[in-house]
Amino acid sequence: MAAVSVSGTWPGLAHPAPGQHSAAPILIGMDGEFSLQNSRSAQAVEMGIRCALDEIERRGGVLGGRRFELVTRDHGSIAARGIRNLREFAAMPGLLAVFAGRFSPVVLEEMDLIRESRTLLMAPWSSADAIVDNGMRPNYVFRLSLRDSLAMPRLLQSCAARGLHSVGLLLTNTGWGRSNHAAARAWSAAHATPRIVGTAWYNFRDTSLLEPYRALLEAGAQAIVLVANDDEAAVLVREMAALPATQRVPLFSHWGVSGGDFVGQAGPALWEVDFNVIQTFSFFRARPAAWRRFVAAARPRYGIERPEQIAAPVGVAHAYDLMHILALAVERAGSAERPRVRDAMEQVRDYDGLIKRYPQPFTPMRHEALDQSDLLLARYRAADGALVPVDAARKPS
């Protein structure tokens, strides 16, 4: 995909002197699942990066006028391709950092190469705990996204809040599923309710999830906590809709479903199932000033006018804020050298972002920019398929 040259400054930063824009661009890589059928997550992350970069470009550049240039690569959700792409990025002259895509299993397979090459990895989606809890000293991975050990407690608490005290776990048999299994077990060990009555596993690209679903019902599950992407979740929803209403229990889903065309794949069956999905942010709840700033960047390039137009919204918002924080770190470092920018990422302060105001997004001991207070549950709206908070569907104004 074509690269776009962009750059940025903030209030108080000097504008570039004539001729300074001729300095070599700072390259930003993106390794995502662009070619995966029905997926929208890589495109969402790219949108967030490009909107941030367009904004930065209008403000005049970093380091006195240097541009950023985005370079994208497709791994199609295949780990071997991701490793190949990352190796290429790591060796690319002028490359500062790589943004990862949606799939935790791909990113987990890349961690040895990240450690070896000391490539800065920005994680705007993938949620497996081990991506950040990787044992690196210093740690070159920074995540502005959900974390499984935050997601699972919130999903389980949401079941209990609705009086659903016996819960089954339906998990993908991948590193992402195992990460969530560990998080659920850790939380359950310290809490009496809801009680996890069983765990069922399925494999990537399974064409039916009915057998493990029924096994959890037979174990007494009043609700299912689902860890799935859009394809498998849509399969389950269609199968559940064909069952008698008495055999359809509420689903509380991890957010992988929001990275693809889940509504289109599930079809009318979705409106027959009580389906809830965890999110970290909703454009329907964006602060008015932050929304206007984002739309000013998104409208010229993508024609965005309303939240309903934004597919895979968390990917857009996370990447947008994370790119701005990375650019602020470049300014703080006074350099585009990876080790110096890595250190500066831990020192950025007082960034007023799209998702929230960040007093200090990252610290030497914390490479997670979001926390439990950022989480919310959402549902797909029947009128237009938009993903809206369960308790409100207010547009930003």
Task: Using the predicted structure, report yes or no on whether residue 396 has a pLDDT greater than 50.
Answer: no
In terms of phi and psi (left: phi > 0; alpha: psi -120 to 50; beta: otherwise), the region of 105 is alpha
Mean pLDDT of 336-354: 97
Element containing residue 199 per DSSP (H, E):
strand 195-202
User: Strands of 68-74's sheet, edge to edge?
Assistant: 5-6, 68-74, 26-32, 95-100, 120-123, 141-143
**Is omega for the bond preceding 93 within 30 degrees of 0, making it cis?**
no
Residues, the chain, total?
Answer: 397
> What distance in Å separates the CA atoms of residue 155 and residue 95, rounded to the nearest whole number?
38
Confidence at 246, pLDDT banded by 50, 70, 90? very high
Q: Hey, how many other C-beta atoms are within 10 angstroms of the C-beta on 363?
A: 12
For residue range 158-169, list pLDDT tens digits in order.
Answer: 999 999 999 999
Q: For residues 49 and 20, which has the higher predicted lDDT (pLDDT)? A: 49
> What distance in Å separates the CA atoms of residue 244 and residue 234, rounded to the nearest whole number?
18
Task: Using the predicted structure, report yes or no on whether residue 377 has a pLDDT greater than 50.
Answer: yes
Write phi, then psi, for 381 (nearest 5 degrees): -85, 130
Confidence at residue 212, expressed as pLDDT on a 0 to 100 scale? 98
Confidence at residue 23, expressed as pLDDT on a 0 to 100 scale? 83
Task: Using the predicted structure, report yes or no on whether residue 152 has a pLDDT greater than 50.
Answer: yes
